[in-house]
Chains A and B, each alone.
Chain A
Amino acid sequence: NAGVTQTPKFQVLKTGQSMTLQCAQDMNHEYMSWYRQDPGMGLRLIHYSVGAGITDQGEVPNGYNVSRSTTEDFPLRLLSAAPSQTSVYFCASSYSVSVNSPLHFGNGTRLTVT
Chain B
Amino acid sequence: ELKVEQNPLFLSMQEGKNYTIYCNYSTTSDRLYWYRQDPGKSLESLFVLLSNGAVKQEGRLMASLDTKARLSTLHITAAVHDLSATYFCAVDSQETSGSRLTFGEGTQLTVNP
- Chain A residues in the interface with B (C-beta under 8 A): 31, 33, 35, 40-45, 48, 50, 56, 58-59, 90, 92, 97-98, 100-108
Contacts and interface: CB of A to CB of B under 8 A. Distances in A.
Interface residues of B, number: 24
Given A42-B104, A43-B103, A97-B99, 20 more contacts: A33-B101, A40-B105, A42-B88, A42-B103, A43-B90, A45-B100, A48-B99, A90-B42, A90-B43, A97-B98, A100-B31, A101-B48, A102-B33, A102-B35, A102-B48, A103-B43, A103-B101, A107-B41, A107-B42, A108-B42
A13 B30 CA distance: 41
Interface of B: 4, 9, 31, 33, 35, 41-45, 48, 50, 88, 90, 97-106
